[in-house]
A and B are shown apart, each in its own frame.
Chain A
Amino acid sequence: MSTQNPVIPTKKTGISLLPLVSKNAVPILFAILCTLAAWLAKMDPWFLASEIITRLARNSLLVLALLIPVSAGLGLNFAIVLGAMAGQTAVIAITHYKMTGLWGFVVAMLASAPLAALLGYLAGKIMNRAKGREMITSMILGFFVNGLYQLVFLFLIGPVIPMQNRSIMLPSGVGIRNTVDLFRIEKVLDKLWRPIVLGVRIPMGTLIFVGLICAAIHFLMRTRLGQQMRTVGQDMHIAGVAGIDVDRTRIIAMIISTVIAAWGQLIFLQNISTLNTYNSHEQVGTFAVAALLVGGATARRATIWQAIVGVLLFHTLFIVSPQAGHAIIGVPQIGEYFRVFVAYGVIGVALALHAWQSRKS
């Protein structure tokens, strides 16, 4: 998955810790921060562990969805929000048709895939018109499609798009409710296999699914297509000269990313089991990107492990920072704003570094 060569034998001249530390400075810094905050917050370690495991299962796939566009040189794909919206559309559809359980969930996955692929295709087309400023474009695209999503689900459902199931609609008969109860698919994937290890309930079903996606990404990057993506990601001009269809490769990367994001949102929703129709997806891009960066990734290089470590650290900080804020200054909001700051700040710093580095080279 890395954009570096997978097989570079390096000469070992004794074991040195220093390069290892400087290479992983960001995750190490955040690990220290998390430990400190957890210690200050005086959290119950078992509670913390089970929260972290839950969030790992819930959020990993959305972060993994970012990996392929990074490899293909599109940078951090804030437009995974489009995938999230595709996932939510599918969830609304299966809730409307009252589908239940694992089958309902599988139907939602199958239904969201073509929609997400279409959105990913369009997003790829747009990215190809905005080469060199993909990230800001993907972010604005997310906002824009969010507007269209709201238009459809707030105003067009009912008068334009007929819907019979009044239970998920606003009392006026126009638009979907702000919250939709997803009890029909509540934790269906988590519950497939949920062993208790050392007193912590582990949503093994979801973790296995996430693992399968990881394996698929790993496999993809070792195929011809994966190599083409990495080539395009390193240098579009050279890739073009070598006969690779650059635009097409970038579109494929966007499609895969958007489809994974749609499934990621489905996993998120089955765990939360409530759909905030107009909010659940909004911060998906920001938080996923921030988590990936906390894991030590950059806009040009990201690995599966960085994604997973990032989710662990970022969400640990999320859990403990309000209590830590309360413990330090007595104002819990401080922790809340602090984690917002971390999310935005880490993205800001990473982007600045990215721009700085790409200018130097």
Chain B
Amino acid sequence: MVSLWEELLVVAYALEMRSITKQYFGNTVLKSVDVAVKPGEIHALVGENGAGKSTLMNILFGMPVIHQTGGYDGVIQIDGVDVKVDSPARAMELGIGMVHQEFMLIPGFSVVENIKLNREISRPNLVSRFLGSKLETLDLNTMGKESQVALDKLGIDIDHWAPVAGLPVGYMQFVEIAREIDKHNMKVLVFDEPTAVLTESEADLFLESVKRLAGLGLAILFISHRLEEVVDISNNITVIRDGEVVGRLAKDAARVDRIAELMVGRSVKQSALPPRKKEPSDDDIILQIRDLAVDMPGEKLQNFDLDVRRGEIIGIGGLAGHGKVALANGIMGLYPGTGQVIKDGQKLPLENPAAALKSNLAFVSEDRRGMGLLLDDSIEDNIVFSSMQIQNKFLKKHLPWPSTHMRDAEAIRAYALDTIRDLDVRCQGPNQPVRRLSGGNQQKVCLGRALALSPDVLFASEPTRGIDIGAKNLVLDLLVEINREMGMTIVITSSELAELRMICDRIAIVYEGRLVGTLDPTASDVDFGLMMAGGIGTGVKAG
């Protein structure tokens, strides 16, 4: 039974999304998600990367990607009225605005031109009377005045005729917002990780403006990975994980650690891992990392210290954007970095992928299709490539210069067949192009290429991202097997804490580019939650 009072409440929402379900090719990515925002409310939407936030926003904006893949189930209401958002233009008409993560600004244009982008104010003239309104003259004066009104609402004082290119990043964000609120019927405003690119003081200024906008009666949906600011400014928080709402918190109940815990989820039952002859210990350190800083866009790492024990599986966890994937990328020399990395007593030069590979480090990239594979080349050529280039293996040595050595087809074929068998790559044969393989099998080829180097340390970045559940477990099992049978040290980075807890000996947590501490995989959810939010839990081990 729904009481009259509750019905009235429903009507009071500016935006309500009810039982939103979305499937991509039979894969359910959103399961009956409910989100409702009242006018004047700041509502935060948090969740790990891939939790379904962006799919939900794409639905709200009627993005073509949604409708090309069979649409969605559920109801969207604006001011209590059912609406069908079938295009971004329709979303705009309905008063839904969005401030994008990457700026939708044209640097060469002035602030005014950007605010009024494709909504220019124009006056009819002689020509436009004959050839249509597209040829009306721009009314720069009025455009300037209206832009100033929007900027004033944000409490920002900038020269609105200056080109955007020269503005500090924080101000660019304000121009984006000004554009949204200049749209006259704006009701719901979505911020997608708005503070990710801002400095701390810029972020403070920005959050003030958001509160001011809410004060004007706008309903605000706020997506962020910075949990403190989420707790600080939002009235309500909805936590999404694996396409489902796993928690709703009101302002007074919201605590950073509680949110983090909800985001990463509870531990799955840990099956016993096979024992080793000799357990890794702090007496035998294979990789010593000191004061490492890596300049990887969106994943910066700084002042990072860590000792990796010989023969262990160490997990690197943390929320997206906090720098966990930068560790492997930095050590492998793929992004600019400073600091000290010592492997077996030898200092490793940074920013030099060849040197890292020659020091018997190997890497399975998180960007499988972009960086991990030659998609149009055969499985066998992919598997032996690094080993051939770095270690001069699989070559026939006719001439004295290694560059001129010819590829040894027989040796390659034999090795590839072994790898295909050992890693259980499902394929038509070793000369099948890897483009035609499924995600899981592609990942096995990446792994095979790294293993062909017979490395001492294997860095595996997000090894299970984008592959189906069955294949995920296969890949994880494979890593454990490699570790136990070959004694290979493995550094695995993953956004899924659960899988780290399944296979790791210990898990290092990264927060804002720094190491917070390392935890035992059996540590409590609360400890993990706290640490991912930058706090120190009770089960912390010496880092």
Contacts and interface: CB of A to CB of B under 8 A. Distances in A.
B161 A234 contact: no
Contact of B108 (A4, A227, A243): A4
Interface string A9-41: 100000000000000000000000000000000
Interface in B81-139: 88-89, 92, 104-110, 113, 117-118, 120, 122, 127-128, 133-138
A224 interface: yes
B158 interface: no
A3 B106 CA distance: 11
Given A4-B163, A238-B117, A243 B135 contact: no
A241 B62 CA distance: 12
A231 B136 contact: no
Contact of A238 (B106, B120, B162): B106
A223 B136 contact: yes
B110 A239 contact: no
A342 B134 CA distance: 40
Main secondary structure of the interface of B (DSSP, over half): mixed
Interface in A287-340: none
A246 to B, nearest CB: 11
Nearest to A238: B104
B89 A243 contact: yes
A358 interface: no
Nearest to A361: B107
B110 A8 contact: yes
Contacts of A228: 118, 134
B137 A227 contact: no
B117 A242 contact: yes
A164 interface: no
A222 to B, nearest CB: 6
Given A224-B120, A238-B104, A5 B134 contact: no
Contact of A223 (B88, B89, B137, B161): B137
Contacts of A223: 122, 127-128, 134-138
Given A8-B162, A223-B128, A242 B118 contact: yes
Among A223, A238, A242, the most chain B Cβ lie within 10 Å of the Cβ of A223
Contacts of B354: none
A219 interface: yes
A235 B135 contact: no
Contact of A231 (B117, B128, B138): B117
Contact of B135 (A5, A8, A224, A230): A224
Contacts of A219: 127, 137
Contacts of B169: none
A225 interface: yes
B106 A235 contact: yes
Contacts of A230: 109
Interface string A231-259: 10011001101111000000000000000
A220 B104 CA distance: 25
A7 interface: yes
Given A9-B161, A219-B127, A224-B135, A243 B118 contact: yes
B161 A8 contact: yes
Contacts of B105: 238
B149 interface: no
Nearest to A235: B106
Given A5-B161, A224-B136, A234 B109 contact: yes
Contact of B134 (A9, A224, A242): A224
A63 to B, nearest CB: 23
Most chain A C-beta atoms within 10 Å of own C-beta, residue among B92, B118, B122, B162: B118
Nearest to B98: A241
Contacts of A235: 106
B390 interface: no
Contacts of B104: 238, 241-242
Contacts of A3: 108
B140 interface: yes
A50 to B, nearest CB: 36
Contacts of A234: 106-109
Contact of A5 (B109, B127, B133, B136): B109
Given A223-B128, A223-B135, A5 B113 contact: yes
Nearest to A227: B120
Given A219-B127, A244-B118, A225 B108 contact: no
Contacts of B138: 222-224, 227
Nearest to A225: B134
26 contacts: A4-B163, A5-B110, A7-B110, A7-B140, A8-B161, A219-B137, A220-B135, A223-B135, A223-B136, A224-B122, A224-B136, A225-B135, A227-B120, A227-B138, A231-B117, A234-B109, A238-B104, A238-B117, A241-B88, A241-B104, A242-B104, A242-B117, A242-B118, A243-B88, A243-B92, A244-B118
Given A223-B138, A224-B136, A231-B117, 7 more contacts: A5-B110, A8-B110, A223-B128, A231-B106, A231-B109, A234-B109, A244-B118
